[in-house]
Amino acid sequence: LISFFVFGLLQNQLLQHSLYQEFNTNVFGNKLPADLAITWNARLLRTAGLTHMRAMGRKRMARVDLASKVLTDEERLRSTLLHELCHVAAWLIDGVRKPPHGPGFKKWGRKCTQAYPGIAVTSAIRTRFSINSRIYASITRRAAGKWAGIQNQSIQRKCVA
């Protein structure tokens, strides 16, 4: 039997893959690699997604991490994936990495909004989504200049852009 967690993860991966193909066709003109690495990351808690970019000689590469604890519905996944793909396009197609939310990113963001008027691709650095997670291990926080541990069974964090 497949657990509900594994079943949900498989559903997310299938949805993410089909959305990537759709966005690559409709927004990026199939200029992004068909095999772009997009992975789910349970350790991302303060951002909904993260794009990693690097160059090896003249070859540029990118990969995307998506926060499994933040992207809990299709709307969040759609907007975050489009945001991260704007970073990927700016890097792989235009060769622009910095500034991260500069003209290169905004150019692709406008194309996203033209193709999908209901989704605004913004330059928010922190997620605007609530993060719901059950935490059984110690969580650290900064207190009086020293690290202190707190124990909690259920925490709701709210990050605001």
Give the C-alpha separation, 63 to 15, whole Å: 17
Give the C-alpha separation, 70 to 78, whole Å: 12
**Quick one: 107 exposed, middle or buried, by C-beta within 10 A (0-12, 13-18, 19+)?**
middle
Longest dimension (CA), the chain: 52
Per-residue pLDDT at 12: 82
Per-residue pLDDT at 10: 74
Structure tokens given for 84: 């991260």
Q: Mind giving me the DSSP string for 84-97? A: HHHHHHHHHTT---
Per-residue pLDDT at 131: 61
Per-residue pLDDT at 127: 52
pLDDT tens digit sequence for 3-25: 444 556 678 888 999 999 999 99
- The parts of the chain modelled with pLDDT lower than 50 are 1-5, 134-161
Per-residue pLDDT at 122: 87
Per-residue pLDDT at 158: 42
Per-residue pLDDT at 128: 61
